[in-house]
Amino acid sequence: MNRIFRIALFAILCFLCSCERRPLVDVQVMIKVRVVLNTDDIPNVTTGIYNEKIVAELTTPEIFRVIFYDRKNNEIVSQEFITRKGIGLDGRYFYEGDVYIAPGSYDMVCYNFDTPSTLVHGERNKNTLEAFTSEISDNIYSRFKSRADAPEPSLYYEPDHLFVAREDGLDVSPTGEAFTIVTEARTIIDTYYVQLRLVNGHYAANAVAMITDLAPSNRFGIGEPEYGRYAGTYFEMYRSVDARMRMGECDVLCAVFNTFGKRPDHIAPAVESQLYISFNVLTRDGNSVEMTLDMDSIFKTPQAMENHWLLIDKEIVLPEPDGGGFKPGVEGWDEEIGEIEFGK
């Protein structure tokens, strides 16, 4: 009996030594997060409009995603979606919600979660959190005949505006007292206006363009566009008029488009410029007119650097119809010159 008692006592002591005292409920602190939307000074959207007839629409977000990352390993710890929307005394929209999180040191990233074209992945780690868009389909790519067989660049749809707020080094104390974090969200997207002169524009059915040497994505958890890859952005073009031309008012082919940003010149220096734009205009008789232009000098003009205006001093000429043939059904080019609503 003594031997059995000693064995049982030894087992109990081993069990007690291996135990760790932990509270029955982990301490959670409530944090109220307020995200203030700042849309000031977005070129070609809220300021610096070159062509009042071609204006980019800015959709106000309805929901923000709030993510807290552990500062030690950058891994996600907690997240919440906030939808309480209001307007502050400064006239700006704000979004509020509550997040419960254990005491610790965190980095916080917030972004609007209602973008149809801009997609997000890699959210498990702050360093891999990335915004991107889908690659265009093969039938759209085939419209650019002179570039369709080129291995580079990959072409992507233009992104929606993504508003991002970041706050690093947030310390949550174990006191259990609630507190409020107020942060400001700004867009990570660049918006440009591009145009060139258009001759015989009334023969056009529709038009598209692609511009290269742009960032295909943005690792917005750390605030870095993806400059390591050579990519292009696809967007639709519209017919309008420009009264500022030195020869007087004339027809132009133009658009306002979004991008994750132009790659800096020092990223990929090359003898032959990789920065070009290709236009493709489909005429009413089913013919296709394409033009490709080097954009390196255009991006270095004061209008491009200060206002994001890409004003091309060249013209694209549409031939007169040869009679009959297929006539694609995109309406409004004749009757609404310069009044076409911007959209995708």
DSSP-derived 3-state class of residue 143: coil
Mean pLDDT along residues 11-22: 46
Quick check: 200 pLDDT over 90?
A: yes
Output 179-184 pairs: Cβ under 8 A, ≥24 positions apart: 179/29, 179/31, 179/32, 180/31, 180/32, 180/33, 180/34, 181/31, 181/32, 181/33, 181/34, 181/108, 182/34, 182/36, 183/33, 183/34, 183/35, 183/36, 183/108, 183/110, 184/35, 184/36, 184/38
pLDDT at site 147: 54
Checking DSSP bridges between strand 179-187 and strand 29-37, what pairing results, if any? parallel
Contact 155, 80 (CB under 8 A): no
End-to-end CA distance of the chain: 87
What's the pLDDT at 237? 96
Predicted local confidence at residue 267, as pLDDT: 67
**Rounded average pLDDT over 209-229:** 93
DSSP code of 144? Answer: -
pLDDT value at residue 21: 44
Residues 6 or more apart whose CB falls under 8 angstroms from that of 319 comprise 200, 203, 283, 287, 289
Is the per-residue pLDDT at 29 higher than 80?
A: yes
E strand residue ranges, the chain = 29-37, 64-70, 76-82, 84-87, 93-101, 104-112, 119-121, 130-132, 154-157, 163-172, 179-187, 190-199, 204-214, 217-219, 224-225, 231-242, 250-259, 276-283, 288-294, 309-317
Cβ–Cβ < 8 Å for 206, 140: no
pLDDT value at residue 19:
45
Read off the pLDDT of residues 300-338 as tens digits, 9 standing for 90 and up: 999 999 999 999 999 999 998 875 444 444 444 444 444
Report the relative pairing of strands 104-112 and 217-219 from DSSP bridges. Answer: unpaired
Q: Give the pLDDT of residue 252.
A: 95
According to DSSP H, which parts of the chain are helical? Answer: 2-18, 138-141, 302-307
Q: Residue 39: CB partners within 8 Å, gap ≥ 6?
A: 45, 46, 58, 92, 187
At 246 the pLDDT is: 65
Nearest to 155 by CA among 209, 113, 103: 209
Nearest to 60 by CA among 83, 43, 78: 83
Across 29-42, average pLDDT? 95
Between residues 129 and 149, the one the model is more confident about: 129
Stronger pLDDT, 314 or 153, i.e. the higher one: 314
Q: What is the pLDDT of residues 223-271, one digit of tens each?
A: 999 988 878 999 999 999 998 776 667 899 999 999 999 988 766 555 4
Those residues with Cβ within 8 angstroms of residue 116's Cβ, 6 or more apart along the chain or in another chain: 160
Tens digits of residue pLDDT in 103-114: 999 999 999 999
Residue 325, pLDDT score: 42
Instruction: Report the alpha-carbon distance of residue 309 to residue 257 in Å, rounded.
Output: 11
Share the mean pLDDT of the chain.
84
More confident residue, 294 or 265: 294
Q: pLDDT band for position 152 (50/70/90)?
A: low
Digit-coded pLDDT (tens) for 174-190:
876 678 999 999 999 99
pLDDT in tens, 114-139: 999 999 999 999 999 999 999 998 88
Q: What ranges in 58-214 are assigned the alpha helix state H?
A: 138-141
